[in-house]
Amino acid sequence: MVWKLSNDYKPESQKIVWEVVEYLRGARGVDIGAGMFKVLPQAISIDNGHHAEFNHVIKPDLLANAHDLGILASQSMDWVYSSHLLEHMEEPDKALKEWWRILKPKGHLVLYVPHEDLYPKVGEEGANPDHKHNLNEEKILDWMSAYGWDLLRNEQRNEDDEYSLLMVFQKLDGKIKRTSYKTPKPKKTACVVRYGAFGDMIQTSTVLAGLKKQGYHVTLFCSPPGSDVIMHDPNVDRIVLFDKDQVPNGDLGSFWAHQKKNYTKFVNLSESVEGTFLAIAGRAQHAWTPIARHSVMNHNYIEFMHKLAEVPHDPQIKFYATTEEKAWAKKQRSKIPSRRLIMWSMAGSSVHKTWAGLDNVLASILVAYQEAAVMLVGGPECVILEQGWENEPRVIKTCGKYTIRQTLSMLEEVDLVIGPETGVMNAASCMRVPKVVFLSHSSHENFSRDWANVTPVWSKNTNCPGRGNNDVPACHMLHFGFDHCKRHEASGTAQCQADITVEQVWCAVDAWLAKKHEMAAA
* Confidence at residue 52, expressed as pLDDT on a 0 to 100 scale: 53
- Cα radius of gyration rounded to whole Å, the chain: 28
Cα distance between residue 479 and residue 502, in whole Å: 24
Cα distance between residue 405 and residue 321, in whole Å: 7
* Confidence at residue 61, expressed as pLDDT on a 0 to 100 scale: 87
CB atoms within 10 A of CB 481: 10
* Confidence at residue 37, expressed as pLDDT on a 0 to 100 scale: 87
* Confidence at residue 519, expressed as pLDDT on a 0 to 100 scale: 45
Q: What string of H, E and C letters represents the secondary structure of 103-137? A: EEEEEEEEEEEECCCCCCCCCCCCCCCCCCCCCCH
Residues in the chain: 522
Assessment of whether the complete model's pTM goes beyond 0.95: no
Q: What is the DSSP letter of 28?
A: -
**Torsions phi, psi for 418 (to 5 deg):** -125, 140
> Do 325 and 416 meet the contact criterion of CB atoms below 8 Å apart?
no
Cα distance between residue 50 and residue 46, in whole Å: 12
CB atoms within 10 A of CB 314: 12
Helix segments in 398-443, DSSP class H: 404-409, 423-428
Nearest to 252 by CA among 279, 225, 227, 270: 270
* Confidence at residue 521, expressed as pLDDT on a 0 to 100 scale: 41
Q: What is the pLDDT along the chain (522 residues), one digit of tens a residue?
A: 566 666 667 889 999 999 999 999 999 999 999 888 899 999 999 998 765 555 556 678 898 888 999 999 999 999 999 999 999 999 999 999 999 999 999 999 999 999 999 999 998 888 888 999 999 999 999 999 999 999 999 999 999 889 999 999 999 999 999 999 999 999 999 999 999 999 999 999 999 999 999 999 999 999 999 999 999 999 999 999 999 999 999 999 999 999 999 999 999 999 999 999 999 999 999 999 999 999 999 999 999 999 999 999 999 999 999 999 999 999 999 999 999 999 999 999 899 999 999 999 999 999 999 999 999 999 999 999 999 999 999 999 999 999 999 999 999 999 999 999 999 999 999 999 999 999 999 999 999 999 999 999 999 999 999 999 999 999 999 999 999 999 999 999 999 999 999 999 999 999 999 986 554 443
Sign of the Cα pseudo-torsion (217, 221, 222, 224, in order): positive
Cα distance between residue 230 and residue 451, in whole Å: 20
